[in-house]
Each structure stands twice: as structure tokens, then as C-alpha cells.
Amino acid sequence: MNNHLKSPSQILEEKSQQGWSGCLMIPEPKDISVGWKIFLHEGKIQYATSTVAQKERLTYLWQATKTKLAFPQVTAKGIDYQQLCQWSAKQNFSPTDFQQLLLELTKEALNQVLTIEQASIIIRDEQLPGDSMTSFPWQELIDQEYIDIWKKVRISLDSPLSLLYLAQNKAFDFYKSWKNITQNDAAFAAFAETQKLSDFVNPLFEKICLYDLASRFGIDYNRMAKYLQSFLDQGLIKSSPHNVKTNQNQTKYTTKKPVANQKKQVTSPLIQKKIVSQNQEQAHPKTLPIIACIDDSKTVQKQVQMTLQPVGYQVISVLDATNALRELSRNMPVLILMDINMPDINGYDLCSMLKRSQKFQNVPIIMLTGRDGIIDRMRAKLVGADKYLTKPFEPQELINMVRKNTVFLVNY
């Protein structure tokens, strides 16, 4: 039976007074493909859970409770009540501790449901298998402060079950906003000091839910939601439906499928560089291999062009590092030359970001810079740079290094 646009709290109150047993399905208003399930027995809540991101929720709440027990070995597809009971029995989890875990899972799900003002609620006769270990009057689980916080969060973020996503062409805008917020928000600045920007950005490139993101950084997800709010309000981070991730992963799997008779995945960095070059050649058989030069100096750009173009390379100049990702995506290079000292974003941060990107991780990067200290060289290596060449350089020195690192067959 469907109850269109009913208040979840109103339905819970009705079913509680009736002493009803069954399951309430509460879909998310902005993504009806996902939602929450609340199991009641004789008007009391036995268990509540989400229809997706169950493992992410369990991981987050497991960390939040600071239990010393090993994390349960459960399937990635879904974690239902019966699986948790089976795991508890195998691990000799005490009934008191297990009840506390179920309480945390149930309380978090219930309070999320209560942040939804109206939904098309589905009422089912479905019940939990076996004897329930828990039974709570739903009113006793209400955390009004939590509900008030999340009602504000939901203005920017559709749901904690939504996938958070940062488009790669928004990465530098995100970087600028990150720096700006760090300068104006003391709490965010304290968080930013303990984190690498690339570690924060890269999961967002692949789509990630709030539970997973909070777990990775070991912080309260209310606090994480607060950190994200400005980026969401600016439209830099998007909130997308959870089912999009499945389609995206299927596409990635298809594109990565090995060729016939291939027994092992290619792992050699040199061979990976050659594959990048061969793919470039196959995609543009009549064009020259592209070298990208990211440097805010027009003099250096001209020198690189005059050195490499006569020997068979096409050079694209990127003067503004904040536009680098956009230009690299439009003109996939076989190699990237990059300065360290640039306005807005330095070469170390940009190199790290590119090396963590699936699209550019196998493209060789040569740091082309005036810095010649051992610390600079070590730092460049740590962020993933393949080679290091100091300015001023001899033309033949640059040519030899480019040829060696592109492994690209060109008629000179």
C-alpha cells in the first residue's frame, strides 16, 4: 500500500499506536531509487537500515563506536540483518555489544528518516527473520539536535546516500575555493592542515558517499558535511543519485577489459608509457605526438616550442596552470613538462593531482624548473614526477629526455 506524501513521523506514530508489525519503506525524495527500511514489531522498532551504502554506513558507525573487535567480513553487495546476526554468532559477539551496534545503526537510519518532511511511503508485511534481539519505542531514539543539523545539510546535500562528485574540469576552481576557505575559516583551516588536498580530491573524482568520505578521514560525518557545504553551494561538488555509480563502474570495466590472449596485466611503467603513446598514435594517426608545457613564462614556452617542434613534436602551451586540466583533456599529451613556481597552484600539487587521476597517471611528467636543490628533486619524486630538468637547459638535453620518456616512434 502506498501513502503518497506522508510524513514519516506521522506514519510511525500511527503504526506505533496500532501495535503494527511490518516494514516501512521510505524513499529519498530527490532520488526515489534509494531510501530507508524500518522494521516494526508490535509497534516498536526492531531494526532500521538503508537500501544502499550499507557497508559504508556500517564502516562509518563501526569506527564511531570505537569497538576493538575485528570488522565483520560481509559481502559488498549488501548487509542485511540476517548477515549481521550470522557474523555476530561466529565472532562470539556478546549480546549486549551486538544490541548496541544494532541500536547505533537503527538510530542513525531513523533520525535520517525523520529529516524527510514528506515521502511516498510503502507499507509492507515483511518482517525480520528469526527472533529479534532488539525492540525500541521509536520516540526514545529521536535525536532532535541531529535532525535539526541534517535538515540544514539537506538544503545543499540531497541525502547522505547520494554520491558526491567533482568533475575534473572543476578541480582548479575547487583548489582556489579550498585555499580561500582555509584563509577565512579557522575550523576548516585546522582540518586542511592535516590533509593532503589530493587525498581529499581524488575520491571525489570517482564518486563517493558521505559515509565513506568521513570514514577515510576518521571524522564525524556531520562535520564532514559542514566542510563540504560551501563547495556544494558553489556547485563545485555535485550530489548525484547512487545508481549512477553502478553504470559508471560498468563502463570502466568494459574499457579496461584485456585484449585476447593477454594473460597478465601490464605493470611496467616503461610499457605503460609506450601504451599511452600508441593509443595517442592510433587515435590521431596523422597528427604529431603532443607535448604539453605548463609554465607561466612565455620565454620558456617559446624555447620549448623551438626545441621540440623541429624534431617532430607538437607543443601545446599552458600559461595558466588553473586551465591545465581542461587543456590536457582536450589535447591528450604523451608527455608533460611542468614548472614548479607558478601562481595559483604550484607544480608539486598539480603533479600529484595528475598522477592520482586515472586519465593522466601514466603520462610521464618532467619537472622543468629553475630550482636545483636536492630537497626540490626529492619532493618532485615523491609527488610522482618521472624526471627533473633544471633551467636553463641545453636544447639537445631536452630532446633526449623527451625521446627517452615518451618511447614514441617518430621519424626525425
Look at residue 386 and tell me if it is in a domain. Answer: yes
* Residue 194 to residue 222: CA distance in whole angstroms: 18
24 contacts 106 by C-beta, under 8 angstroms? no
64 half-sphere exposure, CB direction, 13 A CA radius: 20
Look at residue 299 and tell me if it is in a domain. Answer: yes
Task: Say which DSSP state 338 is in.
Answer: E
Look at residue 412 and tell me if it is in a domain. Answer: no
- Shared domain for 347 and 303, answered yes or no, is yes
- Shared domain for 225 and 274, answered yes or no, is no
- Shared domain for 131 and 26, answered yes or no, is yes
* Residue 285 to residue 289: CA distance in whole angstroms: 9
Look at residue 261 and tell me if it is in a domain. Answer: no
- Shared domain for 114 and 21, answered yes or no, is yes
Look at residue 256 and tell me if it is in a domain. Answer: no
Of 97, 128, 153, the residue at which a domain comes to its end is: 153
- Shared domain for 103 and 175, answered yes or no, is no
- φ, ψ at 198 (rounded to 5°): -65, -35
Rg (the chain; Cα; Å): 27
* Residue 36 to residue 150: CA distance in whole angstroms: 16
For residue 30 the three cell numbers come to 530527490
The domain of 298 spans 269-406
Would you write out the chain's pLDDT as a tens digit for each of its 412 residues?
444 578 999 999 999 999 999 999 999 988 877 899 999 999 999 999 999 888 889 889 888 776 666 666 655 555 678 888 887 777 777 888 888 888 999 999 999 999 999 988 989 988 887 777 788 899 999 999 999 999 988 888 889 999 999 887 788 888 889 989 988 989 888 888 887 787 888 888 888 999 999 998 888 998 999 899 999 999 999 987 765 443 333 333 233 333 334 443 433 444 344 444 444 444 444 468 899 999 999 989 999 998 898 888 899 999 988 888 888 888 889 999 999 988 878 888 899 888 888 888 889 999 988 887 888 888 888 889 999 998 888 888 999 899 888 754 333 3
pLDDT reported for residue 66: 60
pLDDT reported for residue 195: 79
β-pair type (387-390, 365-369): parallel
- Shared domain for 91 and 31, answered yes or no, is yes
For residue 47, give the amino acid letter. Y
Look at residue 211 and tell me if it is in a domain. Answer: yes
Closest by CA to 405, choosing from 369, 367, 366, is 366
Q: What residue has cell string 532488539?
A: 134
Look at residue 411 and tell me if it is in a domain. Answer: no
Burial of 58 (0-12, 13-18, 19+ CB in 10 A): buried
pTM passes above 0.85:
no
Helices (H) and strands (E) in the chain, counts: 17, 13
CATH code for the domain of 347: 3.40.50.2300
- Shared domain for 46 and 147, answered yes or no, is yes
pLDDT reported for residue 16: 94
- Shared domain for 24 and 130, answered yes or no, is yes
- Shared domain for 172 and 146, answered yes or no, is no
Look at residue 250 and tell me if it is in a domain. Answer: no
Closest by CA to 324, choosing from 362, 293, 288, is 293
Domain total for the chain?
Answer: 3
- Shared domain for 276 and 402, answered yes or no, is yes
